[in-house]
Amino acid sequence: MRACAASLAVILALGAAGAASAADRLYTAYNIWFEQPTKVYSTNYQKGNILPAGTEVKDVARSSKKLEFTDPKLNMRFSIEFVGKHHPGLTAEQWIDRFLTTRDFAALSKGLSATEIKAVRAGQVKAGMSKKAVLLAAGYPPEVATASTQLDVWKYWRDSFRNYLVRFDDWKVASSEQ
């Protein structure tokens, strides 16, 4: 009887561990552009390669100035520097909390149209997209130029010197300079 109880306890513990590890999975909450995975900026300059929204990440390390993780499929280690002056009113911890999520791409993109999903996967912002789709495609606009995503104009950066605007009308993209 004790052997059966012990076996049941082991089975339940393993089942709980499996459930916990599935719940503990972390994913990128939006597309992240990078030229070198070892130096990515929180501003999310939109040039180079795209690490897609919903990418599972492992070996996450957080600090007051940066976030590090591994993309196991690419076998690449990423280091994202939090540039506080580009995110006034936002702490590094708050930025990290919205950068990573427990939701995979299917959950993140739920409710989006097929056209929006195609644009998100390509990192494009197109007329007619919802604000949710733009956030997945381009990430959050730096707060230094866009104080709130409730606004109708968002400003993004291609690189240190060039930017573009996304204009919304009734929560949908009316125009994009991307």
Token reading at 169 = 């009308």
Q: What is the pLDDT of residue 10?
A: 37
Q: What is the pLDDT of residue 160?
A: 87
CA dihedral 144, 145, 151, 155 (to 10 degrees): -130
Q: What is the pLDDT of residue 65?
A: 87
31, 48, 51, 69, 102 from 28: Cα distances, Å:
7, 17, 8, 10, 9
109 and 136 in contact (C-beta within 8 Å)?
A: yes
For residue range 164-174, what is the model confidence (pLDDT) as tens digits?
A: 999 999 999 99
Alpha-carbon distance of 113 to 126, in angstroms, equals: 13
Token reading at 17 = 């561990």
C-alpha angle with apex 92: 89 to 96, nearest 5 degrees? 115
46, 150, 167 from 146: Cα distances, Å:
16, 9, 12
Token reading at 19 = 């459930």
The percentage of residues in the chain with a pLDDT greater than 70, rounded to a whole number, is 87
Give the H/E segment covering residue 77: strand 76-81
Mean of all residue pLDDT scores within the chain? 87
HSE at residue 177, side-chain half, CA atoms within 13 A, is 12
For residue range 71-114, what is the model confidence (pLDDT) as tens digits?
A: 999 999 999 999 889 899 889 899 888 999 999 999 999 999 99
Mean pLDDT of all residues in 137-152? 94
With a cut of 50, say whether residue 20 has pLDDT above it. Answer: no
- Read off φ and ψ for residue 125, nearest 5 degrees: -115, 120
